[in-house]
Amino acid sequence: MHIYDLDTPAIVIDLDVLERNIQGMAAHCAQVGIPLRVHTKTHKIPEIARMQLAAGAIGIVSQKATAAEVMARAGIADALDILIPYNIVGLPKVRRLLELTRWATVTVAVDSEETALGISQQAQREGYTVRTIVELDTGAKRCGVQSPSAALALAERVAGLPGLSLQGIMTYPSSLGVKPFLQETVELFHRAGLPCTMISGGGTGAEAISQEIGCTETRSGSYAYEGMTRISGSKDLSPERCPVRVVVTVVSTPTPDRIIIDGGQETFTSYPPKPYGLIIEQPQARIYSMSVEHGHVDVSQCAHRFQVGEKLSVIPLHAEMTSNLHDEVVVARQGQVEGVWSLRGRGRVR
């Protein structure tokens, strides 16, 4: 069937664009000279992860243990690493992490002794060894130790804890200015005789930065849905760049200047700035507001006369958040449906 024959609202992925994005990033990283580890939080779909790995990615990143479970259970892990770049805090999460190490090679990030100790104690009880890296805050102001000396102190503690195997460090490099921080940390590790075989950098568009500052890999995920650089606003929502569309139906034409579509906040998510996305068929139309189940569209700049029942396809401003609201996506090529993929990773926030 054609995508316009789908019941709406429905998320559709254009396979031609998705494949182009995946191959493009793989070629870019090969040219830059840095291995790519792909972040699955963007799409949450094992089928897309397989495509990324087949294109040459060295492994995957899952932000939470439950999300990593989805990929491992789908057979994504194989002999590849799964990196969880998140502090695993609390016994339920630690137990889930340890169970995951039975299926896959897992590396987890820590930025405090408390987090490391919690994993160590349970790993020792259950007879596991968990690969561990120290997270650095080199400017993103999220998680991470605040200095090379703090990284060394935590690494020495990790190296001395039973059940943990220190592998190296990770950061989210914001610019080339983080290079001294990273280099000093690596030098301190080497002087102390600590392993630092894994230096994980990341961020779509920062592949060359990760390579320049000495990272052994770069983490990226948004490129699958946004192309090679981060989207800064709705002007960048090009159909040639963005594979995700939400097919909607016009359910009301109350005035000549305004229509209502059957996708609102529960379809698109509620927080993006206005407009909420790009309507491919009528780029001059502007989604200026949303209620829970309705999208409010200003069509005053359109020559087209809209009809109730008409189908439109919208590129959402934040495809990652939008897809987290749905159970499945339809995959299509040139408008023709080729299959349905389950969003198995949606809602996996623990």
Helix (H, G, I), strand (E, B) or coil at 314: strand
And the tokens for 288? Answer: 């200026």
Q: Which residue ranges in the chain fall short of pLDDT 70?
A: 77-80, 174, 229-235, 272
DSSP letter (8 states) at residue 145 = B
pLDDT at 128: 93
Q: Which burial class, exposed, middle or buried, applies to 117 when counting CB atoms under 10 A from its CB (0-12, 13-18, 19+)? A: middle
pLDDT at 78: 57
Question: What separation, in Å, do the N-terminal and C-terminal C-alpha atoms of the chain show?
Answer: 37
Provide φ and ψ at 166, rounded to 5°: -65, 130
Q: Is residue 258 within 8 Å of residue 306, measured between CB atoms?
A: no
pLDDT at 141: 85
Give the model confidence (pLDDT) of 221-270 as tens digits: 999 998 876 655 555 889 999 999 999 999 999 999 999 999 999 999 87
Alpha-carbon Rg for the chain, nearest whole angstrom, is 22
pTM of the model: 0.94
pLDDT at 233: 53
Domains present along the chain, CATH in parentheses = 3-11+231-342 (2.40.37.20), 33-226 (3.20.20.10)
DSSP letter (8 states) at residue 33 = T
For the beta carbon of residue 223, count every other beta carbon within 10 angstroms. 25
Q: Is the dihedral of CA 293, 299, 303, 307 positive or negative?
A: positive
Question: ∠ at Cα 43 (327, 18), nearest 5°?
Answer: 115
pLDDT at 205: 85
